[in-house]
């Protein structure tokens, strides 16, 4: 399935937000992954104006930012964003033991049911 997606690199994770099916894929640097629903809606805060990232880092915005700001320990696990979110070509394919996620910038991620992944 082709995805209308955006990507963002963090200190400790790579994140892909699929606007097609409203899912956020979080690929942590330690080899684990999570998929969470994108709950951001029009009218929700885009950023928290009281949070100021260190020089050269960014606060995530919209759906990724809402998850980053509000989910327990998420911001501590990912760290600040290395760059602003940007559009990315992406495709997702489910299979019996997980999913495969391809992005035009990073290639293929095989996402296993045990919450680990392999980057091909």
Which residues contact residue 112 at a Cβ distance below 8 angstroms, ignoring those fewer than 6 apart? Answer: 97, 98, 118
Task: Please check the confidence at residue 17 and state whether its pLDDT lies above 90.
Answer: yes
Task: Please check the confidence at residue 1 and state whether its pLDDT lies above 90.
Answer: no
Q: What total of structural domains would you count in the chain?
A: 1
Closest CA to 108 of 118, 95, 98: 118
Q: What pLDDT, on the 0 to 100 scale, is given for residue 120?
A: 84
Q: Which domain holds residue 66?
A: 2-119
Could you tell me which residues are beta bridge partners of residue 44? none
**72 vs 112, higher pLDDT:** 112
Mean pLDDT of 89-100: 95
């Amino acid at each position: 399935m082709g995805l209308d997606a955006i990507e963002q690199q963090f200190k400790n994770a790579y994140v892909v937000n699929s606007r097609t099916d409203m899912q956020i894929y979080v690929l942590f640097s330690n080899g684990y992954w999570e998929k969470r629903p994108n709950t951001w809606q029009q009218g929700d805060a885009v950023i928290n104006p009281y949070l100021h990232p260190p020089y050269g880092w960014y606060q995530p915005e919209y759906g990724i930012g809402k998850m980053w700001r509000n989910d327990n320990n998420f911001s501590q696990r990912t760290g600040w964003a290395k760059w602003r979110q940007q559009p990315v070509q992406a495709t997702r394919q489910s299979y019996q033991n997980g999913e495969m996620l391809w992005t035009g910038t990073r290639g293929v991620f095989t996402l296993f049911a045990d919450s680990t992944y392999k980057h091909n």
